[in-house]
Every structure is written in structure tokens, then in C-alpha cells.
Chains A and B, each alone.
Chain A
Amino acid sequence: GAGVSQSPSNKVTEKGKDVELRCDPISGHTALYWYRQRLGQGLEFLIYFQGNSAPDKSGLPSDRFSAERTGESVSTLTIQRTQQEDSAVYLCASSRRSGGVYNEQFFGPGTRLTVL
């Protein structure tokens, strides 16, 4: 079946502009996660959605970052008034619930964001 997909694959924007990044999770996966990977570093958690529960936004670095999810499908991460330090690869992952617990996460190919 199809994996996690993300769009666009690359985005170049000017400082101060807003950007929207999209994630389509694997069908049937009720949990969706956003991570950020700066050059040469590990992944840092941004936000996750778990079924119908309120999202955990504890990883968002500033109020310029927000995310929405439509039901149990597509999610959009929005960065307002982009700054150069926002340049990174933004990765989305999803997982499904089985036997009352969430299992392994599967990652999309990421969106490489460059802020000039």
C-alpha cells in the first residue's frame, strides 16, 4: 500500500513569508506526527495528533508554527513569517492503533524548507 506522502518535496521562500506543508498519512493510521531535522542533526518533535484527542503541541518552537488535521487524514503544518532558522527538513510520520496501543511510526520523505 501507499506510504506517508508529503508535499512539496522542496520549498524555497523568502524571510517573512508564510508556508504550508502537507502530509498524507497511511490510510487507517489514526496518529500523525510532525518532526523537524536541522542539517546534520537528529529529529526533534513538533506536534502530534492522536485520534480525536486534542493535539500535543508541546514541541512547537514558537507561536509562528501551527498545524491542523482534518479528521484522521491529511495534516497541514503552517509556518508564519518564516525566519532563516526555520530552514530544515520537516518530516511527517503516522502510526496505527492496534490492541489499544500505537505501534511503529512510518515516515514520509520530508519537505526540505529553505528560507532565504
Chain B
Amino acid sequence: GIQVEQSPPDLILQEGANSTLRCNFSDSVNNLQWFHQNPWGQLINLFYIPSGTKQNGRLSATTVATERYSLLYISSSQTTDSGVYFCAADSNSGYALNFGKGTSLLVTP
């Protein structure tokens, strides 16, 4: 199946800073999603973005399918942004998602 690699594995930011998380994938994708896992373990959908660019408030994401990577941008970070960010992809419609190992983000006051 498709391989998903995320970087960096860990990130510490001061409140107000910006950051970029990267996701590389090994094959063409049908589905690519970004999730935020909060401290209670709930996976929150951030973006469904197999290609193109989307923005939602302080977050935005870009997927360049031809170059097999996706970026998640967090601007003006807040302590509530802390948690683990996962990128996940599948290469065929309806198949299970393959998850990266995540980026653990800590935003300090």
C-alpha cells in the first residue's frame, strides 16, 4: 500500500508562531486527509485535500499531487493547537487510509 511519511516528528512553538508540517506519499492518491488528534484521542478532520489548496481560519493546506507531498500550515498558533497532526492517504477510492506516524505539536504560552 501507499507509504506516508510526516515531518517533523516533534515540534515546539511559542504561542503566535507559524509552522509548516509536511507529508510525503509514495503513490498517486485518491484521498488525502489531515487530522488533529486532541489530548482526549478524538480525531478531528481538518482537510480533505487530494489536490489543490484549502483554507480554514488559521489553517491551510496544499497538496501537490504530481510531486507527492502535502503541506499543512498553522498560523498564529494557539495553545489549543497542541496535539498530534496526522496525514493519511489512500490510492484507491474507498480503500482504508494509510496513516503517517504524526507530528506531535506543543504550543507553549
Q: Name A's B-contacting residues (CB within 8 A).
A: 31, 33, 35, 37, 41-45, 48, 50, 56, 59, 89, 91, 93, 95, 97, 100-107, 109-110, 112
Contact B41 A101 (CB under 8 A): no
The interface residues of chain A lying within 8 Å CB-to-CB of B101 are: 41-42
Q: In whole Å, how far is B6's beta carbon from the nearest beta carbon of chain A?
A: 9
* Interface contacts beyond A44-B99, A104-B48, A107-B45: sample of 9 additional A-B pairs, CB < 8 Å, sorted by A: A35-B97, A45-B96, A50-B94, A59-B96, A95-B94, A102-B93, A105-B97, A107-B43, A112-B41
Q: In whole Å, how far is A101's beta carbon from the nearest beta carbon of chain B?
A: 4
Chain B residues 76-91 with CB under 8 Å of chain A are 86, 88
Counting chain B residues whose Cβ lies within 8 A of the other chain, the interface size class is 20 to 34
Contact A48 B100 (CB under 8 A): no
Instruction: Determine the distance from Cα of A105 to Cα of B98 in the docked complex, in whole angstroms.
Output: 12
A37, A43, A101, A106: the one within 8 Å of B94 (CB): A101
The interface residues of chain B lying within 8 Å CB-to-CB of A56 are: 95-96
B38-57 Cβ-contact flags toward A at 8 Å (1 or 0): 00011101001000000000
Assess whether B31 is interfacial by the CB under 8 Å rule. yes
Contact A42 B99 (CB under 8 A): yes
If the complex has contacts A41-B101, A42-B86, A109-B42, are A101 and B96 also in contact, measured as CB distance less than 8 A? Answer: no
